[in-house]
Chain A
Amino acid sequence: MAKHPTPKLDELESGPWPSFVSDVKQEAANRLENPGKIEHQIPPDCPEDLLGVLELSYKDGETHWKHGGIVGVFGYGGGVIGRYCDQPEQFPAVAQFHTVRVNQPAAKYYNTKYLRALCDLWDKRGSGLTNMHGSTGDIVLLGTQTPQLEEIFFELTHEMDSDLGGSGSNLRTPECCLGTSRCEFSCFDTQDICRELTMAYQDELHRPAFPYKFKFKFDGCPNGCVAAIARADFSLIGTWKDDIRIDQSAVAAYVGGEFPPNAGAHSGRDWGKFDLQKEVVERCPSRCMAYDGAKLRIDNRECTRCMHCINVMPRALRIGLESGASVFVGAKAPVLDGAQMGSLLLPFVEVKPPYTEVKEIIEKIWDWWMEEGKNRERLGETIRRLSFQRLLDVVGLSPQAVHVREPRHNPYMFFKEEEVPGGFERDLQAHRARHKR
């Protein structure tokens, strides 16, 4: 018999998609039965109380969680998000229900030994409920109580060789696509730089010293599987400078129908016979391709590396060999002054260990933003307020036409005083000698 009736939530158990309600109920039953004789360190019925409080929200149309409050582990300013229920008498098992963010291994590869250890930890010291994973990429351990926080941190660091992720005004847990580990499109080792920067900036990740949150994300190619260009204050997106590698015999195999176009991605509908001219050449945004029925030619100088042709014919076309990444800055979600897309800062950077060039750029940006940024102002907003030109100066880059989609629409330009002969000082007497008042 369930602790709280949940008639509304029960309706989310039907239908084909995995039901979180069924899963939470299964956890509630397991904790009650406790076949592993776990010494639960927080109330074992917290999954039931979580369903109870959620059912109440489904009735009221409002959340029943309160502001965080300051909880955490000694010496860190992030990684734990305090959470309290606003109906603690009705739902005592979730009266305190703090979240612990655990920094995920890059690209979220695991072995079962690690995952089982994580489950054991969270069975004993938490709710048994998680998010795999949170929006930023962390393993999210959902729901524990304050006295358990140091215990969890101690076990994470001592037994599991793992650490907390970021929260608050600090470096958030960096995230990457799976990169070269299993993708032929990836222009650099996304996981390696993600880990290297995570390790290099542990202090920034755990101890909030920034005006607001700061996110790193690494996409191996312009397909953008981790959405770096939309989400990260600082992102690297893979690209290359030389020519797309062509295997003409494989092109012929696509034309001849021996290879499935799009790696099979469109195979669920009859789109007709693959038409290289129509589907690739005429779809190319820079129109830099030509096909004469025998040979595919690419004018690589005009190519903008959108990935379409490579996505369509992965066995015939491959990214260039002189690969690296473009640097984008300032992406963010709407709060407060509207969403911003990442803006191109550096067209090309080599992404090779020890990543000195990338680190130098990051640190110059941070120094400037920590000095000039207002409280709760994301980097993108600081750039908007103080100008992209200022950012270029800070990083030590010269303005180039690739920095803009188009030049400015208005003539309200700032000139530097040294650009104007004689500077900004005016000689009124000389003016009046030429022009009577």
Chain B
Amino acid sequence: MVFSSSGYNPEKPMENRISDIGPRDFEEFYPPVIARNKGKWLYHEILEPGLLVHVAESGEKVYTLRCGASRLMSVTHIREICDIADKYCDGHVRFTTRNNIEFMTDSEEKAKAMKADLAGRKFSGGSSKFPAGGTGAGISNIVHTQGWVHCHTPATDASGPVKAIMDEVFAEFGQMRLPAHLRISLACCINMCGAVHCSDIGLVGVHRKPPAVDHEWTGQLCEIPLAVAACPTGAVRPAKVEVNGGQVKSVAINKDRCMYCGNCFTMCPALPISDGVGDGIAVMVGGKVSNRIGTPQFSKVVVAYIPNEPPRWPTVTATVKKIVDAYAAHAKKYERIGEWIARIGWERFFSLTGLEFTHHLIDDFREPAYYTWRQTTQFKF
């Protein structure tokens, strides 16, 4: 490899330096039909799964083809997206919050030709490159985090379980036959980058063992008071420990108080928390962010732990499928999962899905826990 300079001069870092310029202006990137009709859209319609039309006051229409994608994406794949956008969309494309790709054109004919073209594009292993869907009352793409691909605190992988789950519920991505939208998300630890805590089905990586303490290194790698202060339950305290015949400053973990959040590890790398046997996935359901009919809700834990089963996480995918199937069979039109459960009651949710109710599911974290216990004579046998 021969070093190739961008023009940056390490001897004079401030020479010609440009900073604080922010992102490019979005207006540069609008397809012309969007630029012409911004703020003047009248209505939209989903013509078929994955294909939307928006109609403006001017009478102009924009057709949007929405396709699923893996958020971990190579530049080779992005270049193929660019080729498609150049061919059908005059060089314009956008991405959605849920990692879908949107190709827009003002011609219905082009949109349909594009849809047919993209339906045939496959990766070498046989998977679709650009599955159309993610619209209406179905399952859209899963928003997720980095997992084992690139993160230092995960309790599970993200891209792998997401691929396995989307394969399992693929039919619902390309159809609109559920009672309402169903949003799945996955976070590989309880830090939860992304809105996993407000999803119809949220999957979250959990640890189940207190951190190991690398006493030899705690004093050298960590600010001990910060590690102590990082613990939300007061389970970490300073301790003097004997290492190789000498006394060192380290920490001690009160194992009964630890709820394995890993925040101490974030502050102190000498407290590793990952554990192949201890780690796995918890399943949460019934959350949402929309204010439609019912108010936004947090997801609630319904399965405390499923072991990591790479590469295809069969128990996780089967559990998700079970919940989706029970919801599809029993919910009324417009009910999100949480609204369906609010109507039938949690005891009925557990009997309909066949999920086991375990002691972990009764809240015992801080004051809000009390408000989740049953305080009425109304319940179902």
Q: Mark B189-201, 1 if CB is under 8 A from A, else 0.
A: 0111111111000
Provided the pairs A265-B137, A311-B292, A341-B296 are in contact, do residues A112 and B82 lie with their beta carbons within 8 angstroms? Answer: yes
Known: A8-B310, A307-B291. A16 touches B131 (CB 8 A): yes
A307, B334: Cα distance in complex, Å: 12
Number of interface residues of B (CB under 8 A): 144
Q: Are B175 and A109 in contact (CB under 8 A)?
A: no
B258 at the interface (CB under 8 A from A): no
Q: Which of B36-44, B106-114, B235-243, B249-257 contacts A (4 or more CB under 8 A)?
A: B36-44
Among A16, A110, A203, A315, the residue within 8 A (CB) of B167 is: A16
Task: Given A17-B170, A26-B77, A308-B292, verify A109-B94 contact (CB < 8 Å).
Answer: yes
Assess the B92–A279 pair: CB atoms within 8 A. Answer: no
Once the chains bind, are B311 and A58 in contact (CB under 8 Å)? yes
Is residue A289 contacting chain B, with contact meaning CB distance below 8 A? no
**With A20-B159, A30-B76, A130-B75 known to touch, is A283 a contact of B10 (CB < 8 Å)?**
no
Q: Is B20 a contact partner of A203 (Cβ separation < 8 A)?
A: yes
The residues of A that contact B6 with a CB separation of less than 8 Å are 125, 150-152, 154-155, 158
Say whether, besides A15-B163, A63-B148, A130-B78, A268 and B190 are in contact (CB < 8 Å): no
Task: Evaluate contact between B137 and A266: CB separation under 8 angstroms.
Answer: yes
Within 8 A of B (CB), among A243-276: 260, 262-269, 271
What are the interface flags for B305-336 relative to A under an 8 Å C-beta threshold, 1 for contact and 0 otherwise?
00010111000000000000000000001100
Q: Which of A58, A155, A279, A375 contacts B334 (CB 8 A)?
A: A279
- Pairwise interchain contact B45-A21, C-beta atoms closer than 8 A: no
Contact check: which of B170, B190, B196, B291 meets A222 at CB < 8 Å? Answer: B291
Q: Which of B29, B44, B128, B177 contacts A269 (CB 8 A)?
A: B177
CB pair A267–B46 under 8 Å, yes or no, is yes
CA distance A5 to B208 in the complex (A): 31
A105 touches B23 (CB 8 A): yes
**For chains A and B in complex, what number of residue pairs have CB atoms within 8 angstroms?**
448
| Pair A132/B93 contact, Cβ less than 8 Å | no
B24 with A105: CB separation less than 8 A: yes
- Interface: B353 (CB within 8 A): no
Report A-chain residues with C-beta under 8 Å of the C-beta of B5. Answer: 151
Q: Closest residue of chain A to B49, judged by CB?
A: A268
Cross-chain contact of A337 among B49, B129, B181, B232 (Cβ < 8 A): B232
B30 interface residue per 8 A CB criterion: yes
Task: Tell whether, in the assembled complex, residue B274 and residue A62 are in contact, meaning their CB atoms are under 8 Å apart.
Answer: yes
B145:A135 contact, CB within 8 angstroms: yes
**A-B pairs with beta carbons under 8 Å apart, 29 shown:** A8-B310, A15-B163, A19-B125, A20-B73, A20-B163, A40-B1, A54-B148, A60-B276, A62-B276, A75-B17, A105-B28, A108-B94, A109-B94, A113-B91, A118-B75, A124-B4, A129-B75, A130-B73, A137-B97, A150-B6, A157-B18, A162-B23, A181-B38, A195-B25, A203-B20, A229-B291, A231-B195, A306-B293, A333-B187
A306-321 contact mask (Cβ, 8 Å, vs B): 1 or 0: 1110010011000000
Residues 218-264 of B at the A interface (beta carbon under 8 Å): 226, 229-230, 232, 261, 263
Check if A19 sits within 8 Å of B70, measured CB to CB: yes
The answer to whether B167 and A15 have CB atoms under 8 Å apart is: yes
Least CB distance, B10 to chain A, in whole angstroms: 7
Q: Residue on B with the closest CB to A103?
A: B23
